[in-house]
Chain A
């Protein structure tokens, strides 16, 4: 069974940093591109960042470029999101998602990690 389990969320002050992790199991992690998607309270889904299967390519939405870093450790089957210079508007639940093709489409999602910047 494919499982994605996020951790590392919580309350953080504006301007500080936080690092989210997403532990993957049930599939060959290093065969898949991965993504982070966020959802502000009572709002819709917003793509944050994508990383290629081998970590060689990364893509970010403009509002997080230069502040967030997506990375992965394929030996540990773990995806990361380093969030620096956090702002109140970054408050959201952050989901890690597996990308599949032809697409991409997000065919597996974690349970989410809540981040509150205040």
Chain B
């Protein structure tokens, strides 16, 4: 199975600040077709997860450009700029390159 390691486990940020979350995989996430199927999700307190980013860097419909994904191979990153109160929650990376699909353990974003 592909193990997804997220760091840090938690982050404290001031409103308006910028943060980065790292997601490293135990194997390359590059599919045989050359694409990298890495997504980012946010789970706000008491809610279901919601999709933010798919295929490394593509923002899902309605997602602010304050969210950006980057990286390749085994090293992926989510950046959030100008943090707003509605951004708080737990962020997960997830890979769909191979079965079983796996997720990182999550990064909790809190207010400083």
Residues of A at the B interface (CB closer than 8 Å) are: 35, 37, 44-47, 50, 59, 61-62, 95, 100, 102-112
B-side interface residues, number (CB < 8 Å)? 23
A114 to chain B, nearest CB (A): 12
Contact of B101 among A47, A62, A107, A112 (CB under 8 A): A47
B50 and A109 contacting across the interface, CB-CB below 8 Å = yes
B104 within 8 A of A: yes
A112 nearest CB neighbor, chain B only: B48
Is B39 within 8 A of A44, CB to CB? no
B39→A105 contact, CB < 8 A: yes
Asked if A103 and B96 make an inter-chain contact with CB atoms under 8 angstroms apart, the answer reads yes
Q: When the two chains form their complex, are residues B100 and A107 in contact, meaning their CB atoms are under 8 A apart?
A: no
In the complex, B27 has a CB within 8 A of chain A = no
A61: B residues at CB distance < 8 A: 100
**B104 / chain A contacts, CB cutoff of 8 Å:** 44
User: Who on chain A is nearest to B37 by CB?
Assistant: A103
Given the known A-B contacts A44-B92, A44-B103, are A107 and B51 also in contact in the complex, defined by CB atoms under 8 Å?
Answer: yes
Interchain CB contact (< 8 A) of B103 among A47, A59, A107, A111: A47
